[in-house]
Chains A and B, each alone.
Chain A
Amino acid sequence: MSETTSKPTAPQRMSLGRRETIAGYLFLLPNLLGFVIFTALAVVASAAISLTSWDLLSDPEFIGLQNYIDLLTHDPLFRTVLWNTFYFTVVSVPASTVIALGLALMFNTGLRAIPLFRTMYFLPVITATVVVALVWRWFFNPDFGILNYALFRLGIDSPPNWLSTRTWAMPSVIILSVWKQVGYNMVIFLAGLQAIPTTLYEAASIDGAGRWQRFRNITLPLLTPTTFFVLIISIIGSLQVFDAVLVLTGGGPANATRTIVFHIWEEAFVFLEMGYAAAVAWMLFIMVFLVTALQWKLQKRWVHYEA
């Protein structure tokens, strides 16, 4: 390197180890700066903010754990938010997982025209949620939307008023989210299916195993790692649903689709309740942590890894 040739009179050359250390820190520096400021310090700051009452206009007021106590003891709205998020997750995750698995199994039988089909299943995945939610809002339109017209023509006299009734608003958000997520999960399942050695199936066939038995005893067990992976990322994603809710229903009607991230956004950036919103965000963090920990524990018992 240049410093060794241009400065021959330098008292001592840096040792190799020292240069490697300096290089290591320099390479890491740009990323580490961003990581420390926008993630590590931000997490600490967020915890600190959650202990305050702060509207950004006046100085933050330290109130200890009061935000958390309020959330857990007397905040009916937060209970609604938790229930809605739970409802969304408990329906959308199994639905998108099972449908994706079914599709992947069908794709894996060697369909022709796979690239064309895959592109179609992928359109919702690559399109912004805001865009697809806007499109579905129009699609769901009770008076001029094509969906209710089609349902009407199919003989359903009064198709649901999707987005403006308490009964159908959350199912609408779920339909949109499952529709958007299926293609993504399917690709993960396909990769999992293709990793199963075909020799296993051949051996089982020779032993006289039928189609169902092969599925039950080979495919399903060997697919459990993939299934757990899909479940984990789907649940964590579902706990964070926001864009779809905002555009499709705006959290309504009457808070029927107010989910946890919607709640965080509105409390923080509409009502400027920074402390309260940060506390809700920490509750979300705890939920994500618990889900991940629980799944790791269950995984040990349920998942079969290839021998």
Chain B
Amino acid sequence: MIENEGRIVSQQPPLQTSNRVWPVAGRILTYLIVSLGALIMIVPFLWMASTAFRGGSAFQYPPTWIPDPFSLDNFREVWTIVPFGRYLFNSLFVAVCIMIGEVLTSSLAAYAFARLRFPGRDAMFLMYLATLMIPGQVTIIPNFILMRYLGWINTYEGLIIPTAFTAFGTFLLRQYFLSIPRELEEAARVDGASYFQVWSRIIMPLASPAIATLAVFSFMGAWNSFLWPFIMVSTSEMRTLTVALRSFQTDYGTEWGLMMAGSLIAMLPMVVIFLAAQRYFVRGIATTGFGGR
């Protein structure tokens, strides 16, 4: 797995000259700095885990790294004092629905933009491009008011539907579809395949790397998203994990053991997905700057 993953970043030979020119001391220094940086990256997580697995009070002075006594009490408790299983389900259900929604709607639209000719196509595409720059906070107020009008506050519809469309994803898939040779589709069309069949049997399989990248990022975006669910949800049972952690902070602000246990549970699914689909993350960011902040 490790060697396999290294391919993406180190696929091109590193500057061969540097190995010879750089003295050994320089290389050691490089390793030191990179390792120190990596340590800084994971130290807060180690502190989180240390607190989550500690039995008794989180307040210990002096603070220690090794949880003593080691205990799973925090995990058990966080599961009982709030409906944590429900939050996990909410996050998963909402993220999967948004992911499916985004992939479906944007791949259909991208096919229309990339391959079909119809009046108004280019104007509409330009309009999509123009809106990429609009910060989400501009539309959040009218969308909230619309949800309120529709009675979609505290519903899955409200959490999912307004965010299940992506102009950026449409744009990316369109660019990818344009790079697929037309010959295959034309042959299929001559054989009597409908446009829908061309999309589902030819374009989608051929574009699977781009689809996977979009899927991974839309899942991550939805799983980690906060502001929209935060304003959409006011009842306990509709909270997603991020909203639940924030409420936990408001309600049990000093229960650090429980909060760290909850945080650990909330981040684990993304870590697993990242390890499994690392190349799509790296490719998505490296080529398109996907998933900004």
Chain A complexes with chain B: yes
Complex Cα spacing A117 to B39, Å: 9
Q: Is B90 an interface residue (CB 8 A)?
A: no
A188 touches B27 (CB 8 A): no
Q: Across the interface, which residues of B come within 8 angstroms of A56, CB to CB?
A: 145, 148
CB-CB under 8 A for A46 and B139, given A20-B117, A135-B47, A138-B256: yes
A114 touches B10 (CB 8 A): yes
Q: Is A78 an interface residue (CB 8 A)?
A: no
CB-CB under 8 A for A111 and B17, given A27-B108, A35-B128, A188-B289: no
Q: Which of A108, A182, A247 contacts B246 (CB 8 A)?
A: A247
How many chain B residues touch A (CB < 8 A): the figure is 115
Q: Is B59 an interface residue (CB 8 A)?
A: yes
B144 touches A46 (CB 8 A): no
Measured CB to CB, the closest approach of chain A to B67, in angstroms, equals 12
The interface stretch among A144-152, A166-174, A298-306 is A144-152
Q: Which of A1, A24, A198, A229 contacts B194 (CB 8 A)?
A: A1
A184 touches B285 (CB 8 A): yes
Q: Across the interface, which residues of A come within 8 angstroms of B96, CB to CB?
A: none
A35 touches B286 (CB 8 A): no
Binary B-proximity of A181-209 (CB < 8 A = 1, otherwise 0) = 11110011011001000100110010000
A130 touches B246 (CB 8 A): yes
Cβ < 8 Å to A, chain B residues 2-61: 2, 5-6, 9-19, 21-22, 27, 30-31, 33-35, 37-38, 40-45, 47-48, 51, 58-61
Binary B-proximity of A7-29 (CB < 8 A = 1, otherwise 0) = 00000000001001101110110
Measured CB to CB, the closest approach of chain A to B199, in angstroms, equals 7
Complex Cα spacing A117 to B131, Å: 36
B38 touches A145 (CB 8 A): no
Binary B-proximity of A39-75 (CB < 8 A = 1, otherwise 0) = 1111101100100000010000000000000000000
Measured CB to CB, the closest approach of chain A to B216, in angstroms, equals 10
Complex Cα spacing A132 to B48, Å: 9
Q: Is A242 an interface residue (CB 8 A)?
A: yes
B139 touches A111 (CB 8 A): no
A25 touches B118 (CB 8 A): yes
Complex Cα spacing A237 to B293, Å: 6
A126 touches B281 (CB 8 A): yes
Q: Which of A42, A126, A144, A240 contacts B63 (CB 8 A)?
A: A144
Measured CB to CB, the closest approach of chain B to A43, in angstroms, equals 6
Q: Across the interface, which residues of A come within 8 angstroms of B231, CB to CB?
A: 265, 269
A124 touches B41 (CB 8 A): yes
Binary B-proximity of A216-247 (CB < 8 A = 1, otherwise 0) = 00000000000001000110111111110011
Complex Cα spacing A17 to B117, Å: 8
Q: Across the interface, which residues of B come within 8 angstroms of A41, CB to CB?
A: 142
Measured CB to CB, the closest approach of chain A to B53, in angstroms, equals 14
Q: Is B249 an interface residue (CB 8 A)?
A: yes
Measured CB to CB, the closest approach of chain B to A116, in angstroms, equals 7
A110 touches B41 (CB 8 A): no
Chain A minimum-CB-distance residue to B37: A103
Q: Say whether chain A's binding surface is mostly helix, strand, loop, or mixed.
A: helix
Chain A minimum-CB-distance residue to B4: A115
Binary B-proximity of A115-149 (CB < 8 A = 1, otherwise 0) = 11111111110111111101111110101111001
B226 touches A243 (CB 8 A): yes
Cβ < 8 Å to A, chain B residues 254-271: 256, 259-260, 263, 266-267, 270-271
Q: Which of A121, A234, A285 contacts B37 (CB 8 A)?
A: A121
Binary B-proximity of A257-279 (CB < 8 A = 1, otherwise 0) = 00001001100110000100110
B226 touches A135 (CB 8 A): no
Q: Across the interface, which residues of A come within 8 angstroms of B69, CB to CB?
A: none
Cβ < 8 Å to A, chain B residues 193-231: 194-196, 199, 220, 223-224, 226-227, 231
Q: Is B274 an interface residue (CB 8 A)?
A: yes
Complex Cα spacing A234 to B162, Å: 25
Q: Is B106 an interface residue (CB 8 A)?
A: yes
The interface stretch among B71-79, B80-88, B163-171, B179-187 is B163-171
Pick 5 A–B contacts, CB within 8 A, sort by A: A35-B128, A109-B30, A264-B140, A269-B144, A288-B133
Q: Which 9 A/B pairs are nearest by Cβ-Cβ distance?
A: A110-B14, A34-B165, A237-B293, A24-B118, A191-B286, A31-B109, A45-B142, A128-B224, A27-B112
Interface residues of B (CB under 8 A from A): 2, 5-6, 9-19, 21-22, 27, 30-31, 33-35, 37-38, 40-45, 47-48, 51, 58-63, 65, 104-106, 108-109, 111-113, 116-119, 121, 124, 127-128, 131, 133-146, 148, 161-162, 164-165, 167, 170, 192, 194-196, 199, 220, 223-224, 226-227, 231, 241-242, 245-246, 249, 256, 259-260, 263, 266-267, 270-271, 273-275, 278, 281-282, 285-287, 289, 291-293
Contacts A110-B13, A115-B5, A128-B267 supplied; 7 other A-B pairs, CB < 8 Å: A24-B116, A31-B108, A99-B37, A138-B48, A211-B22, A264-B141, A289-B133
